[in-house]
Structure 1
Amino acid sequence: MPAVLITGAASGIGRAAALQFAQQGWDCLLVDISPAIAELPQHCLAQGAASAQAFALDLTDAQALAELGRQLAELPALDALVNNAGISDSSGRPLSGQAPAQWQRLLRLNLQAPQALFDTCLPRLKPDARVVNVSSGAGHKAIPWRGLYSPSKAGLIAWSHSLAQRYPQLSVSTLCPGFVRTELVQGLMDAGRLALADAVAKIPLGRLAEPEEMAAALVFLAQPQAHVLSGQVLSVDGGSGIYGGSSRCALSTAVPAPLQTPLHLQLQAGRDAACDGAWLQALKADAPAHAAATGERCQGVVSTQALAPAVGDLLEAVLNAGQQFAATHARDASLLLLLPASAPQGVPAWQHQTALAAARMLVATLACEWATQGLRINALLLSPEQTTGAAVAQLLPLVRFLTGAQAQFVTGQSLDISGSKESQHG
Structure 2
Amino acid sequence: MDLGLKGRVALVAAGTSGIGLAVARRLAGEGATVSVCGRSPGRLREAVSLLEEEAPGAVHGKALDVTDHAAVEGWVEEVAGLHGGPHVVVANAGSPPEGGAERFGVPDYRAAVELNLLSAITLTRAALPHMRQAGYGRILFVTSLASKQPIPGLALSNTVRPAVVGYAKALVHELAEAGERAVTVNVLAPGMTRTPTLQAWAEELEGGVERLSADIPIGRLAEPDEVGAAAAFLASSLAGATTGVVLPVDGGATRGLL
Q: Which residue of 1 aligns with 2:69?
A: 62
| TM-score when normalising by structure 1 | 0.54
Asked if the contact 1:180–1:211 (Cα under 8 Å) also holds between the matched residues in 2, the reply is: yes
Q: Which residue of 2 aligns with 1:6?
A: 12
Stretch moving more, 222-231 or 59-68? 59-68
Q: Is 1:224 the equivalent of 2:224? A: no
Give matches, 1:44-55, under 5 Å: 44-49=51-56, 51-55=58-62
Give matches, 1:196-215, under 5 Å: 196-215=209-228
Asked if the contact 1:26–1:49 (Cα under 8 Å) also holds between the matched residues in 2, the reply is: no
Asked if the contact 1:23–1:49 (Cα under 8 Å) also holds between the matched residues in 2, the reply is: no
The percentage of counterpart residues that share the same residue type is: 28
Match of 2:91 among 74, 83, 86: 83
SS in 2 for 1:229: coil
Q: Is 1:110 the equivalent of 2:116? A: yes
Asked if the contact 1:25–1:50 (Cα under 8 Å) also holds between the matched residues in 2, the reply is: no
| Cα distance in 2 for residues equivalent to 1:181 and 1:72 | 30
CA spacing shift, 1:117–1:193, aligned 2, 3 Å: farther
Task: Show structure 2 runs of 5+ residues with no match.
Answer: 1-6
Q: Is 1:176 the equivalent of 2:189? A: yes
Counterpart of 1:196 in structure 2: which amino acid?
A: V
Spell out, residue by residue over 1:8-58, the C-alpha distance to the aligned partner (whole angstroms, 9 max, x if none): 101101111111222222101111122211332222121125511111111
Spell out, residue by residue over 1:351-396, the C-alpha distance to the aligned partner (whole angstroms, 9 max, x if none): xxxxxxxxxx6xxxxxxxxxxxxxxxxxxxxxxxxxxxxxxxxxxx
Give matches, 1:272-291, under 5 Å: none
Q: Cα offset for 1:142?
A: 1.9
Asked if the contact 1:21–1:49 (Cα under 8 Å) also holds between the matched residues in 2, the reply is: no
CA spacing shift, 1:29–1:63, aligned 2, 3 Å: same
Q: Which residue of 2 aligns with 1:250?
A: none
Match of 1:32 among 31, 38, 42: 38
Give matches, 1:124-203, under 5 Å: 124-125=130-131, 126-168=134-176, 169=181, 170-193=183-206, 195-203=208-216
Match of 1:101 among 99, 107, 124: 107
| Cα distance in 2 for residues equivalent to 1:40 and 1:16 | 10
Q: Which residue of 1 aligns with 2:4?
A: none
Spell out, residue by residue over 1:313-351, the C-alpha distance to the aligned partner (whole angstroms, 9 max, x if none): xxxxxxxxxxxxxxxxxxxxxxxxxxxxxxxxxxxxxxx
Counterpart of 1:208 in structure 2: which amino acid?
A: L
CA spacing shift, 1:49–1:3, aligned 2, 3 Å: farther
Asked if the contact 1:25–1:49 (Cα under 8 Å) also holds between the matched residues in 2, the reply is: no
Q: Number of residues paired by the alignment?
A: 243
Task: Show structure 1 runs of 5+ residues with no match.
Answer: 244-360, 362-413, 415-426
Counterpart of 1:55 in structure 2: which amino acid?
A: K
Spell out, residue by residue over 1:197-216, the C-alpha distance to the aligned partner (whole angstroms, 9 max, x if none): 32122211111101010011
Q: Cα offset for 1:189?
A: 3.0
SS in 1 for 2:28: helix
| Cα distance in 2 for residues equivalent to 1:165 and 1:49 | 38
Q: Which residue of 2 aligns with 1:237?
A: 250
Asked if the contact 2:73–2:123 (Cα under 8 Å) also holds between the matched residues in 1, the reply is: no
CA spacing shift, 1:63–1:16, aligned 2, 3 Å: same
CA spacing shift, 1:45–1:158, aligned 2, 3 Å: same
Stretch moving more, 66-75 or 17-26? 66-75
Whichever of the two has the greater Rg, that structure is 1
Give matches, 1:221-370, under 5 Å: 221-242=234-255
SS in 2 for 1:172: strand
